Structure 1
Amino acid sequence: GAAGLRARRSVRAPTSVHALAPCHRAAFSSKSDKSSAKLSAFDGVDGIIQYANRCTARLPSYERYKKENVFPPSGFDFLNFFLFIKLQLPTSTEIDACEFLNGAQFACDLTMNTMYLPEFVNYATGAITESPAAETLRRGLSPECFDAFLFGMRESSKIGNSFELKKLDINGVFLHGVEWERMTLAELRRDEQMRRAAAQQDAADPTSPPAIDGSAPADDEEALKTMVERMRIDVLFESKEHLHVRMAEGEDQDIIKDSQAVWRFESLVTQPSDVDWRIVSVF
């Protein structure tokens, strides 16, 4: 059950990319809202009423989330409830937080294990040009996040030290933040273009402002009228990394590193069929 998920556990690092699951691209449990509600909380009085009805109807889920430790132990009840009601903002898609965190834990675990594989490090440094490990990461990360991982590996390899993840203890996976947006398809495309440009600029020269490609095709009429919904969910991931470090000076050492990071997942949630969670940042 999800309660057991929060218990301390050890996950052994795979010895090769073939030991990894084929893909961590997943819906993480999203289902259709069976009600006729199609208005958002920002669509006037009727929208507010329908949103309030969704929150009220799903209150049993909030009690279940508290029992199954979805929220951080240090969280205040009113903040936890605020996270819960923000999860109900999508008009046609219901997100189950327990099942989402199951999927998020799998994605974080797989990403951590994959990024330490020698094969991925060799790909990041340009020693090889094809890598199943890199493709595994590419499927579960946004393009910007994947490029950031590559950049980080390249920079760390310049020091001359190498790291091997011997074991990963997952001590906690908690709901940390929720954001929901409603926009036109044209606005979504422009936002994604801006983020790609900023990521490319950071990789080339972090001190310069991003250059926006003005040659992008103009938005069509349908894109200007079509409304989409996007959600970002932040997951607090607490772990202990057991690392074997090969030093540039020739000395090896084993270290245990306590880690606490927020992993941000993002997906369209306009309809359940649109849901495809990807990791967009780690901070």
Structure 2
Amino acid sequence: MPPGAATTTVSRRVPLQAAVTLVVVVCVGCLARRHWSVIAAGADRLAVADRGWLLVAAVATAATWGCSALAQQGAVARPLPAGRLMAVQFAASAANHVLPAGLGAGAVNLRFLTRCGLPVARSATALGVKATAGAVSRCFLIAVFASACPGVLRLPHVSPTVVAVTVGVVVAAVALLSGPLRRALRAVLADVRAVHEVPARTAALWGGSVAFPSLHAAVVVAVAQALELPLPPAQVALAYLAASSAAVLLPTPGGIGSLDAALILALTLVGAQGGAAASAVLGYRLLTMWLPLLPGLVTLGVLVRRRVL
């Protein structure tokens, strides 16, 4: 390629990257303005909370990005640049508050993996492996805490009609997508085998996948302790795990609205007063979402500008 053509390509790419960054900035600004009353109320309640427990919650929040990076590395057989991987997870958490159902984080990680030289199909499979390990780990943690707190978690009654309709839809989908589904499953299983052939990758995948929701639950527990909620930590952790799993059924950017309502309801069901439960959720959101949002956005812009993404 002639030098002039390369310069033209780069000059075209830079305005496009700047436009993408500007769109993200506007979306985040609108999001923060719309929920400013929530941010202010959470800050007021945290101002009189126990500082030691809030520090524990802040440390646990920071550790979640490291666990996410660990799990992403474990889902890929080849080594990834550790510093960039950590920065990408921090930026992905900010992008996740703009698009629903984890699409923001998925898009950022997909772009990063392809920039690292992985084919698009292999990158998408790695994201699928990470998501599957995360779902299995979350179910495992719910089972552990539910056994430690018997009688707290009550499964909703599901009618046989709903079960039959669900099974019918799944069977029809499998029948219609049998060819593509088989190919996708073969690709996923091949990558799973490749990852689990390396013990270090296996430990990274499952260790990071288990630690990520555990640390988020620890943030809620620490905030509840800071606000002096009279609840056992195991019940608070179970309430978070159950609420965050239920909130997936109503995908919103960053779980805004769905996770908040589900977590407040879960905390009240295990014995917290409504106002105290709302304060705990506001504190959790302030630490895990609103405070890291601007630094995450700046990191995202820097990564885009440096063509890491």
TM class, shorter-length: under 0.3
**TM-score, normalised to structure 2's length?**
0.25
Higher relative contact order (CA 8 A, sep 6+): 2
More helix by share: 2
More strand by share: 1
